Amino acid sequence: MFLLLPFDSLIVNLLGISLTVLFTLLLVFIIVPAIFGVSFGIRKLYMKTLLKIFAWATLRMERGAKEKNHQLYKPYTNGIIAKDPTSLEEEIKEIRRSGSSKALDNTPEFELSDIFYFCRKGMETIMDDEVTKRFSAEELESWNLLSRTNYNFQYISLRLTVLWGLGVLIRYCFLLPLRIALAFTGISLLVVGTTVVGYLPNGRFKEFLSKHVHLMCYRICVRALTAIITYHDRENRPRNGGICVANHTSPIDVIILASDGYYAMVGQVHGGLMGVIQRAMVKACPHVWFERSEVKDRHLVAKRLTEHVRDKSKLPILIFPEGTCINNTSVMMFKKGSFEIGATVYPVAIKYDPQFGDAFWNSSKYGMVTYLLRMMTSWAIVCSVWYLPPMTREADEDAVQFANRVKSAIARQGGLVDLLWDGGLKREKVKDTFKEEQQKLYSKMIVGNHEDRSRS
């Protein structure tokens, strides 16, 4: 037993030296650069290397599939059905012209052939639902050595399998522990730093410290995800007294934006670890947290937000008006509450690159812990952020029209599909009002034509 003591001591010393070296590397190459907002370019070099590996793996997979007569899956990026943007009246006229001698102008009464329009629309929706597919992971054409978002993941060759296995070891045995350590460091510093700053008297010095504590901690958390972010048009960044609105893909959207700016957060009060973080943050910065019962009171929420934006010394509020996470292929309906306040709106478009890892959070399928584990075992999180020029509500606009105009600008800049559907359909059924709207359009077409004919 005594003979083993020197060997045990050697192992302990080696372990201590390894931990010391690891912590030193973290401090020098990650934490210190995060504090000062600088980068050594290691992440970009890492991204370029990954792209070359992905390109080789995809070519090898395509060649192997061709040799074995395997059919590779190719996702339909624009949908499987070509849909022309025509109105209900135009399509029914076309159906009557092709299948009946009675034109719509001459026969305003109901025609049995009219049902073919609604049958076709129903079948198109079943076959190519443009809403449901926004709540699943975006399918990739190329293979990124992850089996999560590509149906082409299958055995092709020994070299590809070995490369995939090596990638699993790197992601789970090296990157995951490193990222967990960084995330723990960032969150701990955020809680401790904001708590200490909260005891200082209000003033410029407290605001200065609070800003830099938040930025430092969020930048460390960004590095915990190996996030590579490109910010565009920074001169349009949100300013005090305004509202920042962005499309919503993931909870990490907050970290992506807050690592480049200083925002007041809006959200529901939580318990557990999230509650600890919220209580610490609100001591150093005027965030707007609501109790569960208050969130349901739309007027109370609007009043609290209005009071915040009227004070031009307070930080811009960060809001995601979709109210739920979408898979970053589109932008869905914006809730009008944020646009009724009358404040200046600063739109932001966020576009993730799914080649390195899928950032979308399907909250109905994955819990927060599972989702974070998937993020931290991805290759990286790569995204682009565009700050759009500020927008204000025009005199002849209501809140809904203003929200749609902002949404269209974000979709256009981010290369996303602009949809009018409510993201609440992720968990709810289609409201009867949508069905009634189609019924009213058809009824108005028939009755309206009949009235016009009677007048003439």
> Which stretch of DSSP H or E encloses residue 453?
helix 432-455
- Which pLDDT belongs to residue 103? 53
Number of residues assigned to the chain: 456
- Which pLDDT belongs to residue 95? 66
- Which pLDDT belongs to residue 351? 94
Q: For residue 2, with 0-12 CB atoms within 10 Å meaning exposed, 13-18 middle and 19 or more buried, which class applies? A: exposed
What number of other Cβ atoms are within 10 A of residue 423's Cβ?
25
> Quick check: 345 and 408 in contact, CB under 8 A?
no
Tokens linked to 243: 């509202």
Q: Give the span between the Cα atoms of 318 and 251, in whole angstroms.
A: 13
> Quick check: 219 and 37 in contact, CB under 8 A?
yes
> Quick check: 414 and 330 in contact, CB under 8 A?
no
Longest dimension (CA), the chain: 112
From first CA to last CA, the distance across the chain in angstroms is: 111
Tokens linked to 77: 């990026």
Q: For residue 119, with 0-12 CB atoms within 10 Å meaning exposed, 13-18 middle and 19 or more buried, which class applies? A: exposed
- Which pLDDT belongs to residue 23? 67
pLDDT in tens, the chain (456 residues): 444 446 567 676 777 776 676 667 666 666 677 666 667 777 788 888 888 888 888 787 777 767 666 666 555 545 544 555 566 666 666 666 665 555 555 555 666 666 767 776 666 666 666 677 777 776 666 677 776 555 555 566 778 788 888 888 989 988 898 888 888 888 888 888 888 888 888 888 888 888 888 888 888 888 888 888 999 999 999 988 889 999 999 889 999 999 888 888 887 777 777 777 888 887 778 888 877 666 666 777 778 888 888 888 888 989 998 888 888 888 988 988 888 888 899 999 999 988 888 888 887 788 888 888 888 888 989 999 999 999 998 888 888 899 999 999 999 999 998 888 777 666 666 666 666 776 777 777 767 654 554 554
Alpha helices by DSSP H, listed for 27-114, are 32-36, 42-67, 88-99
* CA atoms within a 13 Å half-sphere pointing along the CA-CB vector of 331: 27
Q: Which residues, listed in sequence order, are joined to residue 244 by a DSSP beta bridge?
A: 318, 346
- Which pLDDT belongs to residue 86? 63
What phi, psi does 109 have (nearest 5°)? -75, 170
Q: Give the span between the Cα atoms of 359 and 353, in whole angstroms.
A: 9
Q: pTM for the whole thing?
A: 0.78
> Which stretch of DSSP H or E encloses residue 370?
helix 368-376
Sequence-ordered list of residues with C-beta below 8 angstroms from that of 9, at least 6 positions apart, any chain? none
Q: Give the span between the Cα atoms of 255 and 176, in whole angstroms.
A: 19
> Which stretch of DSSP H or E encloses residue 307?
helix 298-310
- Which pLDDT belongs to residue 405? 93
The DSSP code for 29 is I
Burial 53-89 (b: 16+ CB within 10 A, else e): ebeebbebbbebeeeeeeeeeeeeeeeeeeeeeeebb
Burial 171-204 (b: 16+ CB within 10 A, else e): beeebeebbeebbebbbebbbebbbebbeeeeee
